[in-house]
Structures are given as structure tokens and as C-alpha cells.
């Protein structure tokens, strides 16, 4: 039985180690929940990894589908249009926030906004572009978050469960 020594890695060693890993040929993919999410630690980690791997960064914000709250309710076109306008506004705020970030200066990045269930949409985008890896943030533990995860499930867990590419969960 051998005991490995705990040594610190220098940034150059880390980059060289990353370069030898067997990642996909595509970008580093990160799921973004909203405009407030663009200032979080997951994005900082994803930008660092995309630079270390010399890969572009693909940010994915998943638009929500309208889900009827009442059984047998069919949304009328006006409701669908209002929801679409609201999602367009969220997407515009995210893009403006990203474009103005110093962190992304000089980085190759793209924002995609598919519609659907967040985990499935992130996995689909990552598969389509042969993602090098996927970065997802983990929400802080709160009562509201516990209720949301109970009702909808954890995006991070669902992306990891897909097991199609490396996934990094950033708290």
C-alpha cells in the first residue's frame, strides 16, 4: 500500500496535466440559470478551464416551457407570447451581463438558449457539440432549494447521471 504525498500543483503543471487528458474535442459547456448566475464561482471555474484547455466556452441558459398549473388547462396564445417575451428579456439580460464582464475579455464564448427541461437540454447541447466537459453550479442548501429539488430534481445530478462526458460540479 502506498501513500501519495500531498503536493501543491503549479498552474503550469495543472495546464500540462489537463492537456494530456482525454476530453471531447468541443467547448467547455456551462449551464447558466439567469443573469445573477453569471457572477458565480461556476462561471469563473469554467472560464479558467476553457483557457487551460484552449477551448471555447459555451454558455447554456435553458428557457422554461409553460407548464399549466391547472389540469386540462391549455395556454392561450397570449399567455404563450407573454412567456416568450419574458424569456427573451431574461436572455437579453444574460447576454448584456456576459458581454460586459472583464472575466470574458479575450475569451471565445457563445450563449445558447434552448427550451426544455434544464438537465436534458444541457446534456443534449453538450452531446451535440462533443463537449470537452460540462460545468454546473450547485445551489446553496436552503429550504426553498430543498422544495425545488424535491419537486423538479437536481440539474447537477441529472447531468452527472448522463455519464456522457466529464462533469464538474462547483458549489
Instruction: Find the CATH number of the domain harbouring 128.
Output: 3.40.50.620
Residue 111 located in a structural domain: yes
The backbone torsions φ and ψ at residue 136, rounded to the nearest 5 degrees and listed phi first, read -130, 145
Q: What is the pLDDT of residue 125?
A: 95
Q: What is the pLDDT of residue 17?
A: 53
Contact 46, 57 (CB under 8 A): yes
Residue 7 located in a structural domain: no
Residue 117 located in a structural domain: yes
Distance, C-alpha 32 to centroid of its chain:
5
How much is the average pLDDT of 14-18? 52
pLDDT of 137 higher than 70:
yes
H helices of 24-105, in order, are 41-52, 77-99
When the pLDDT of each residue in the chain is averaged and rounded to a whole number, the result is 78
Confidence at 126, pLDDT banded by 50, 70, 90: very high
* CA distance to 11, 59, 62, per residue, from 155 (Å): 30, 15, 11
- With the C-alpha atoms ordered 114, 116, 121, 122, is the resulting torsion angle positive or negative? positive
How far apart CA 63 and CA 86 sit, in angstroms, is 10
Q: What is the pLDDT of residue 151?
A: 53
Per-range mean pLDDT, top range of 36-40, 71-75, 106-110, 143-147: 106-110
Residue 79 located in a structural domain: yes
pTM metric for this prediction = 0.74
Number of structural domains, the chain? Answer: 1
Q: Which residue segment(s) compose the domain that 163 sits in?
A: 32-170
Ramachandran category for residue 148: left, alpha or beta (phi over 0 → left; psi -120 to 50 → alpha): alpha
How far apart CA 138 and CA 168 sit, in angstroms, is 10
How much is the average pLDDT of 99-108? 92
Q: What is the pLDDT of residue 132?
A: 92
Amino acid at each position: 500500500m502506498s501513500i501519495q504525498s500531498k503536493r501543491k500543483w503549479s498552474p503550469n503543471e495543472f495546464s500540462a496535466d489537463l492537456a494530456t487528458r482525454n476530453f471531447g474535442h468541443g467547448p467547455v459547456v456551462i449551464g447558466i440559470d439567469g443573469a445573477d448566475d453569471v457572477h458565480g464561482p461556476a462561471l469563473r471555474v469554467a472560464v479558467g478551464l476553457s483557457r487551460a484547455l484552449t477551448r471555447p466556452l459555451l454558455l447554456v441558459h435553458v428557457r422554461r416551457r409553460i407548464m399549466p398549473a391547472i389540469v386540462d388547462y391549455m395556454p392561450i396564445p397570449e399567455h404563450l407570447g407573454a412567456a416568450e417575451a419574458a424569456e427573451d428579456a431574461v436572455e437579453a439580460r444574460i447576454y448584456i451581463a456576459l458581454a460586459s464582464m472583464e472575466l470574458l475579455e479575450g475569451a471565445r464564448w457563445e450563449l445558447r438558449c434552448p427550451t426544455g427541461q434544464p438537465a436534458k437540454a444541457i446534456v443534449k447541447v453538450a452531446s451535440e457539440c462533443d463537449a470537452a466537459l460540462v460545468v454546473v453550479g450547485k445551489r446553496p442548501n436552503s429550504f426553498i432549494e430543498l422544495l425545488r429539488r424535491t419537486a423538479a430534481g437536481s440539474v447537477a445530478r441529472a447531468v452527472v447521471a448522463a455519464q456522457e462526458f466529464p462533469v464538474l460540479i462547483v458549489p
